[in-house]
Amino acid sequence: MLVLLVACDLERAPGPPDAPEVIFEVPKGATARGLGDELAALGLVQSPSKWDWYVRLNKAGGCIKAGKHKVSASMSAPELVEALCGVPVPDEVAFTVLEGWRIRDIDAALAEKGFIESGAFIDAAKGKEGYLFPETYMVPADGFDVAKFVERQLAMFDERFGKAYAGERALAEVVTVASMLEREEPSPQNRPMVAGIMYKRLSSGWNLGIDATSRYTLADWNDREDFLEKLRDPGDPYNTRLRPGLPPTPIGNPGLASLQAAAAPTESEFWYYLHDKDGVLHPSRNVGEHEAYRRKYNVY
């Protein structure tokens, strides 16, 4: 009976059931018994001596693999041994998707990092513009799976915004407006008011007149010559100067602040707005005020 109690004590998890996962790296050539001090220092075993006794009594740990393993203080000694004998997790690196990036921008960044062949993300994310949540993701340094990455971005969108959204407007409309806000208004605190202006123009049958939409299909967002050509093209479905309504799709992937602003716009007396050379917003109530601001700040 005493032997059984001792064995149970040696196997007991050192932490609570909800202890978080951590990454523990087994060095090349390490033995299970030789890991006792480091495991104890991280709170993953009760003590180096108890770990040593458990390994010796059970002849355990001969299968441990060098590399990184996900473990937790909630694991019992047998569960910890099983985890250390499992397939190591791949090395991961951070990859950041910036707010407002288009699918083609994400594709270019992934290709530049060497994760994909150019065009692979564009193919995998087709039809998902606006829903690929911008965030810093930890991704495998080797063996990047583009389809799984798209799934992670879509899941992150649902987790951070989609599941909680319960507004009257269609989600697709909110996402499209949010994508325009991301490009139009640099200051998050101004976005609810700008969103209100956009919705007011839409409901009144006015053209939105948002230049950013005409940049969406450009290979280089900042290509001024191609942009000016797009502004004069009435056949471009993304030209909101010359065509009424929303653009056919979102014009990028908005962050949470823009999504929240599009979901909860602020009503105001304004119908127009522009930004000066410093990016400061200047809203106006009528075309006369708007044109005066254009002349004052030399914005055309």
Residue 276 resides in a domain:
no
181 and 154 inside one domain: no
- Residue 3 is predicted with a pLDDT of 43
Give the whole-angstrom CA distance, residue 222 versus residue 209: 18
- 289 assigned to some structural domain: no
Domain co-membership, 251 together with 191 = yes
Q: Are 12 and 54 found together in one domain?
A: yes
Do 186 and 124 lie in one domain? The reply is no
**pLDDT of 226-236, one tens digit each?**
999 999 999 99
Is the residue at 74 inside a domain? yes
- Does the residue 294 lie in any domain? no
Q: Rounded to an integer, what distance in angstroms lies between the CA atom of residue 227 and that of residue 101?
A: 17
Compute the distance between CA of residue 6 and CA of residue 77 in angstroms, rounded to an integer: 13
Q: Domain for residue 281, yes or no? A: no
Residue ranges making up the domain that contains 138: 92-160
Q: Are residues 102 and 180 in the same domain?
A: no
Ranges of residues in the chain with a pLDDT under 70 are 1-8
Same domain, residue pair 156 and 170 = no
Short-list 44, 101, 102, CA closest to 77: 44
Residue with tokens 């149970």: 8
- 52 domain residue, yes or no: yes
Q: Using CA atoms, how far apart are residues 265 and 199, in angstroms rounded to an integer?
A: 8
Query: Residue 179's CB: how many other CB atoms inside 10 A?
Result: 29
Judgement on whether residues 180 and 243 belong to the same structural domain of the protein: yes
Task: Decide: 22 and 69 in contact? Cβ < 8 Å.
Answer: no
Whether 295 maps to a domain, the answer reads no
The pLDDT value given to residue 184: 95
Q: How many structural domains is the chain composed of?
A: 3
Separation CA 243–CA 207 (nearest Å): 6
Same domain? 173 vs 152: no
104-129 pLDDT, tens digit per residue, is: 999 999 999 999 999 999 999 999 99
286 domain-assigned: no
Last residue of a domain, one of 160, 188, 212: 160
